[in-house]
Amino acid sequence: MGSLSGMSETGVVEARAGDGPSPEEVTSALARLRSWMAEQSSLVVAFSGGADSAFVAWVATEVLGAERVHCATAVSPSLPESELSDCADLATEWGLNWSKVLTDELDDPAYQRNDALRCYHCKSALGRALDPLTAALGATVVLGVNLDDLGDHRPGQRAAAEGGARFPLVETGFSKAMVRAASRQLGLRTADKPAAACLASRIPYGTPVTLGVLREVEVAEAGLRQLGFDQLRVRHYGDTARIEVPVSRLPELVEHRNDVVRAIREAGYRYVTVDLEGLRSGNLNAALDLGPADGGSL
């Protein structure tokens, strides 16, 4: 597809030696995914700009063409402005048929309550926002859920499935490592993009989700990114911020503690703490004490 400009000069980037799946495994998985896409008449991709959804959007558009694939980014206070901007940039770079859709989860008391089903209410709001688009196009909604996502507490997957969405990466056998390897093989700049969950995921369960809290978290994380910390989370505990970065970068965080403290306090926090266990995606789920039956399986 000529309009997709994410390719390298040679068109293919070889998978890194010893880094996840072999090139042959990636080629086989890509063939399965392309075959899956070719069987669809029209798709709406829930496009957050992360490695998974970007990969799905690219392959879908490559196979079906932009006229049959609409990439939609859900816009709400839980989406960092930087992520929305990157979605717009990717759409331009790759020639995606892209638009923004406004979601209203923050108006829902059940979502604001921030219990274990917060993500369920969020994905339900996304489904409602996409309904007019999917009805007009006669399209199926697809999400960038991969096999690794099935093992965590992610009730949003259930809400999406109940609404008729499909998960092509799961159906064709893609783990997160496979998504990144395939993206590198295709030369997509999102291949190694750090995960960037919604801002509400920084708020412990039971603490209400409000516009003010989301903004504090967004400003705090933006301040740390300006200091060079690209993989991070700022967890919100009232007037205390708990910073998570990869363990390998903890010494650097301490070395620049004055700048770090300044950035966090400028966001509105009074106390600045560091999690010595380092960055762990979804670690707030530990507070739910879920049994095996309550995990993220569909």
For position 283, what pLDDT does the model report? 66
For position 105, what pLDDT does the model report? 96
Q: Domain with 119 in it: what CATH number?
A: 3.40.50.620
For position 281, what pLDDT does the model report? 72
For position 15, what pLDDT does the model report? 35
- Nearest residue to 141 (alpha-carbon basis) of 163, 156, 169, 124: 163
pTM for this entry: 0.87
- Nearest residue to 44 (alpha-carbon basis) of 158, 155, 156, 126: 126
For position 7, what pLDDT does the model report? 34
The last residue of a domain, from among 134, 162, 186: 186
60 plus 179 within the same structural domain: yes
By residue range, what is the domain housing residue 58? 23-186
Q: Is residue 217 part of a domain?
A: yes
Query: Could you read off the pLDDT of 104-120 as tens digits, one per residue?
Result: 999 999 999 999 999 99
> In the predicted model, what is the mean pLDDT of the chain?
89
- Contact partners, residue 92, CB within 8 Å, separation at least 6: none
* 172, 36 contact by CB (below 8 A): yes
The last residue of a domain, from among 132, 165, 186: 186
Q: Is residue 261 part of a domain?
A: yes
- Contact partners, residue 298, CB within 8 Å, separation at least 6: 150, 157, 158, 161, 167, 170
Query: Could you read off the pLDDT of 28-43 as tens digits, one per residue?
Result: 999 999 999 999 999 9
81: buried, middle or exposed (CB in 10 Å: 19+, 13-18, 0-12)? Answer: exposed
41 plus 138 within the same structural domain: yes
79 plus 209 within the same structural domain: no
274 plus 129 within the same structural domain: no
| Mean pLDDT per 10-residue segment, the chain (298 residues) | 38 42 93 98 97 98 98 97 97 98 96 96 96 95 94 85 96 96 97 91 96 98 96 96 97 97 98 95 64 34
Domains: count for the chain: 2
